[in-house]
Amino acid sequence: MKNFVFVLLVLIGVIGFSQNNNTNKEDVSALYKDYREDQFYASVTYNLLNEKPSGVKQSGFSSGFNLGFIRDMPINERRNVAIGLGLGLSANSYNQKNILISETTNDIEFSIIDESDYNVTKNKFTTYLIEVPLEIRWRTSTASDYNFWRIYTGFKIGYLLYNSTKFMSDIENSKLSNIDSFNKLQYGLTLSAGYGTWNFHLYYGLNPIFDANLQSDNTSVDMKSLKIGLMFYVL
């Protein structure tokens, strides 16, 4: 009888523990069931020209602004690892000293000038794109904690909607828009990392800003975009 009571008590304990375990698992499962980091995002960047032709000099602050929405698709039970797919808009300016983009009779001409001869007062080109970011997302978040560490890395492709160039000097002025010398598709690698709302952001362009037909001294202008700045996420 004593042995029977002992076995019964052990079984009750095991069953109780098992039920508590199941309840905990069910609670956790319910808690995480609909959790995802669907987020609006906005970024401010400092834009650099990477792989510049010899002699090209940047000047001033070249700014970039991005905003959009990313759909978060968790791929693990805790839902802190996910794939993100989004849609956004981007506006980017590139200020420099000695690039002259001008229109000739038959074509667009790219030349590197001596800025001191021209007394350049303004010189920049601007791009506006619609973008599709694709990310692999890792974070330390929970369904109830909105301040957490994150590392989001991925790939972004953009389609050029509009472009413009502006060159102002004592000798020559040139304003162009929607010229065919820019690549319609622009793509690169992305990285966002940080804690909470404030995150470091990097975009490394993989293809040139300008089309291969735009040349300087019979050489293609292969400048790429490098953006460094801050990314803000809003739930």
Which tokens belong to 99?
């690039």
pLDDT at 14: 41
Q: For residue range 13-66, list pLDDT tens digits in order.
A: 443 444 444 434 445 455 556 677 778 999 999 999 988 887 788 887 899 999
CATH architecture of 35-234: Beta Barrel (2.40)
User: Which DSSP helix (H) or strand (E) runs through 145?
Assistant: none
Block residue for tokens 């369904």: 143
Determine the Cα–Cα distance for residues 100 and 62; give it in Å rounded to an integer: 17
Determine the Cα–Cα distance for residues 34 and 216; give it in Å rounded to an integer: 54
Q: For residue range 100-158, list pLDDT tens digits in order.
A: 888 877 777 777 878 778 888 888 999 999 999 999 999 988 777 777 899 999 999 99
What is the number of H-type helices and E-type strands within the chain? 2, 13
Which tokens belong to 234?
């809003």
Single-letter code of the amino acid located at 151: I
Mean of pLDDT values over 189-212: 92
| CA dist list (Å): 153 to 49, 54, 84, 108, 224 | 21, 32, 10, 37, 19
45-49, 72-76, 172-176, 202-206: least confident range: 172-176
pLDDT grade for 219, boundaries at 50, 70 and 90: low
The β-bridge partners of 75 are none
